[in-house]
Amino acid sequence: MADIIVLGAGMVGISTALAFQKRGHSVIVVDRKQPGRETSFGNAGIIQSEAAEPYALPLDISTLFKMAAGISNDVVWSVSGLMRMTPALLSYFRNSLPGRHRRISQIYAGLTCRATQDHAPLIEAANAQNMISKEGLCVLYRDPRAFEEAAAAAERIRSTYGVPYRALAGVDYAAEEPALKVTPAGGIHWEPSWSCANPGALVEAYADLFRARGGEVLEGDAATLKQAGGSWSVSTAGGTQQASTVVVALGPWSPQLLRSFGYRIPMVYKRGYHGHYESRTPLRRPFMDAANGVVAASMQTGLRISTGAALVPLDAPAEPKQLVRGRQALGELIDLGRQIEEPQWFGTRPCLPDMLPLVGPSPRHKGLLFNFGHGHQGFTLGPTTGDLLAEAFDTPGSGVLTGLDPTGRIAV
């Protein structure tokens, strides 16, 4: 019998398992798929230590109109998605108001600023240095006014949170990035961030490290989770597994599981897509095309384009129109080459209404811990929140990042 069962083998789940293992606990990870096969597989691969502020809903009428009318490629939506997520979106909107967002960002920045230092020992121990680049992330602007506004915003981020950056004129950035075939208005180079050339493989490398240190990763169904007496059990291909403690790290599927235990956790589901292209000139660093809401990053499998957010139900069929738009727009900046044939991938970013991950013990079930709701930053923050949860577990009376009220609803 293990001390702890972790449900979920994405970046958050595997990193959590490693954190508990490091503290001397015996740990089993259970997932229906192999490590790093869901949302952790298809992201842009950036460890975003520059992301001091979480993505707020826009408050200006012009941007909201563009999103509502389907003009913006940053966010698209479906009627069924908005209807299902209305309570969560309304709360998300309230937390996007300036005063609340500033308070939330103080906590958020405290997490993201340590992301690379928390990944670093795992990257080294997993012998995964060949996947990592430390060239930062650039946000490119086509419009001079947009670049000017972005430079002012970047200076505010630097002065508030200490995040270093460079504001580069278009000609200067084009000199650094040979893949560009046109000169943009300018770019904001966020220096602290790292990027990974194969995000799914990095999670697999972390999982191999977890196994090498004595852990087990088993195929199983989280929906079979039960509490009996002082222990928890879950069915796996290797038989029923029991532990005194279970960690729910299932990303967007966490609320569905926890509903059966009486928790009503509102969530905003932000779907993203990616596609790969045979670009002959690798990028020096990933960049976001700010005007079109897509990120281009060189991967081991080719140039990956990753999209913004589609507000659709978790079970909605694939509709990669953002990817199609993004590909057309990026083709103006770089030579993409032939698209690589592959099944259309999409994944869902699990965003809680207060934009913070839910990390800590449940309020009404002994031995039930939460670590999910990382929004856009599960790949970034997996090792950080894993360490925080393991530390809190071994330190009775310590706090959590986001609390629950006695009814099991998120306190926002």
Residues 282-296: pLDDT tens digits? 999 999 999 999 999
52 within some domain: yes
Total domains present in the chain: 1
Instruction: Taking residues 394-401, report their average pLDDT.
Output: 66
Which pLDDT value is given to residue 398? Answer: 57
**194-196 β-sheet, strand order:** 46-47, 194-196, 132-133
- The residue that leads in pLDDT, 396 or 393, is 393
Question: Which of 298-302, 307-311, 379-383, 400-404 is predicted with the least confidence, judged by mean pLDDT?
Answer: 400-404
Q: What is the pLDDT of residue 163?
A: 98
- How far apart are alpha carbons 72 and 134 in whole angstroms? 31
Residue range of the domain that includes 387: 1-56+96-129+197-264+353-412
pLDDT at 98 over 80: yes
Q: Judge whether 166 lies within some domain.
A: no
Interacting residues of 11 by C-beta distance below 8 A, sequence separation 6+: 36, 40, 199, 202, 203, 206, 378, 379, 382
Mean pLDDT for 152-173 is 98
Amino acid letter, 239: G
The whole-model pTM stands at: 0.95
Joined together, the tokens standing for residue 301 give 């499998």
60 or 298, which is more confident: 298
More confident of the two residues 60 and 151: 151
CA nearest neighbour of 361 among 400, 412, 394:
400
Tell me what the mean pLDDT of segment 145-170 comes to: 98
Backbone angles phi, psi at 139, to 5 degrees: -110, 115
Lowest mean pLDDT among 87-96, 115-124, 387-396: 387-396
Element (H, E) at 150: helix 144-161
Indicate if the pLDDT at residue 1 is higher than 90: no
**Tens digits of residue pLDDT in 339-370:** 999 999 999 999 999 999 999 999 999 999 99
For residue 324, which amino acid is it?
V
Q: At what angle do helices 378-393 and 98-112 cross, to 10 degrees?
A: 80
Confidence of residue 5 (pLDDT cuts 50, 70, 90): very high
User: In the predicted model, is pLDDT for residue 412 greater than 60?
Assistant: no
Whether residue 8 has pLDDT greater than 80: yes
Whether 274 maps to a domain, the answer reads no
Tell me, what's the pLDDT at 397? Answer: 65
Q: Is residue 243 part of a domain?
A: yes
Rounded Cα distance between 19 and 322, Å, is 36
- Rounded Cα distance between 249 and 372, Å, is 5
Tens digit of each residue's pLDDT (9 = 90 or more) over 122-143: 999 999 999 999 999 999 999 9
CATH number of residue 390's parent domain? 3.50.50.60
State both tokens at 148: 């000017």
**DSSP-derived pairing of the beta strands 287-289 and 294-299:** antiparallel
Counting every residue written for the chain, the total comes to: 412
Question: Does residue 122 lie in a domain region?
Answer: yes
Burial group, residue 205, by CB count within 10 angstroms (0-12, 13-18, 19+):
buried
Confidence of residue 399 (pLDDT cuts 50, 70, 90): low
**DSSP 8-state code for residue 317:** P
* Gap between the Cα atoms of 92 and 157, Å rounded: 22
Tell whether 293 is covered by a domain.
no
* Mean pLDDT over each residue of the chain, to the nearest integer: 93
H runs (alpha helix) in 23-139: 39-42, 61-68, 79-95, 98-112, 115-125
Domain assignment of residue 240, yes or no: yes
pLDDT at 317 over 80: yes
> In this structure, is residue 368 part of a structural domain?
yes
